[in-house]
Amino acid sequence: MSDAQTTATTAPAATRDGAADEVLLEVRDGLGRITLNRPRALNALTHPMVQEIDAALVAWAADPAVRGVLIRGAGEKGLCAGGDVVSLHASLTGGRFEEAAQFFRDEYRMNHRISSYPKPYVAFMDGIVLGGGMGVSVHGSHRVATERTRAGMPETAIGFTPDVGGSYHLARAPFHAGRHLAATSAHASGADAVALGLADAFVESARLDELEQALAAAFGALGSAADAGGRDDAAFAAADEVLARFAVAEDARPASALVAGREWIEDAYGRETAAEALAALDERAAAGGEHAEAAGRAAEAIRTKSPTAVAVAHEAQARLAERGADLTVAEALRQEFTVGAHLMREPDMPEGIRALLVDKDKDPKWSPVRLEDVSAEDVAAHFEPVEGVARLELS
């Protein structure tokens, strides 16, 4: 690929590991295109898909003909519904924790690479964007939400906590909205995503194909880069200009429901522990008033999630928020990996996956049952290294 106008398609994962064309890779007009191609599974990420995406990013970073990257999902429902955690269930129940951990190691390295990518990385966050779907989008330089966006980190519903670097963005969200999203597994709309800093621009979904064409035209016009080793400032400027042309102005896009609920969200989730946040939600719901119904729904949602996962997720964001402007994605990923190494060895994660995604009875038996029964000592223990588990290394 020596010329930005040359069309080149990278062989999909199927040619090497039987992944059945789950990732489609193409370079044309200076734009490297990644299409997640499992529409029947809402484009959920498998381990081979993660490896294929990461390999492409490495190759394209060094290719002067590639001036930018775009990721989108096949089908009509969304970008990606998360990681294929069903495949992890057998590993967890069989005690093969390192097997499961390797998936997370590779995924987190890919997430970190996206966060520091030297070329524009554009993500179409259209439709469902959950869990691992956030990991391949929210770290990008140009994140595009639409009126169809339903973004979130629903891990507490399966006994896990927000990962793939998502905790970094949740911890930085204003008025503790990230803690609310993590505890309840609620979805953020496109307007919410822009308001919370999870997306950069709001574009009408009907214009995404046109936006892709405009990006390709802009990158193609740049030709090949003189130096592919460093940050491609010209390409970033081109992506900025194109996205500005397509973005819907703030006063013309839908209002953010989360911003409208800022007062009650900030009051409840600003408490020191998740149990105290739940009590505050209960108190507001019982008192009546403008936001009583919303607070009651949040409290009800939290009580269906893993108490341990909710408590740990709250503490994880608090610890990251303490870093302030010095917080890095790498720090968040390493903390997530340590927390995850603990949760994989505890009963709630395999039980949550079983109840929601395997047997689908939606009746998980959590241990402990109540958030109030998760002690401070139990929570703190999740942030200590697990004996025999190597530290997450990020390039």
pLDDT of residue 116: 97
Could you tell me if 285 and 148 lie in one domain?
A: no
Our answer to whether residue 32 is catalytic in this structure is no
pLDDT tens string 331-381: 999 999 999 999 999 999 999 999 999 999 999 999 999 999 999 999 999
Residue 175, in any domain of the structure: no
Q: Which of 52, 155, 232, 315 is catalytic?
A: 155
> Which of 203, 220, 252 is at the close of a domain?
252
> Which of 229, 252, 275 is at the close of a domain?
252
Could you tell me if 217 and 310 lie in one domain?
A: no
Residue 387, in any domain of the structure: no
- Which amino acid does the sequence have at 97? F
Could you tell me if 120 and 140 lie in one domain?
A: yes
pLDDT of residue 227: 81
Q: Which of 82, 132, 178, 352 is catalytic?
A: 132
Domain interval for residue 294: 257-381
Could you tell me if 108 and 209 lie in one domain?
A: yes
Q: What is the pTM of this model?
A: 0.94
**In the structure, what pLDDT confidence band is assigned to residue 229 with cuts at 50, 70 and 90?**
confident
Our answer to whether residue 132 is catalytic in this structure is yes
pLDDT of residue 86: 87
Decide if pLDDT at 15 tops 90: no
What is the average pLDDT score of the chain? 94
Residue 120, in any domain of the structure: yes
Domain count, the chain: 2
pLDDT of residue 20: 54
Could you tell me if 133 and 223 lie in one domain?
A: yes
Q: Which of 68, 83, 159, 166 is catalytic?
A: 83
Decide if pLDDT at 10 tops 50: no
Q: Which of 54, 63, 126, 163 is catalytic?
A: 163
Decide if pLDDT at 321 tops 50: yes
Between 268 and 17, where is the model more confident?
268
Could you tell me if 197 and 316 lie in one domain?
A: no
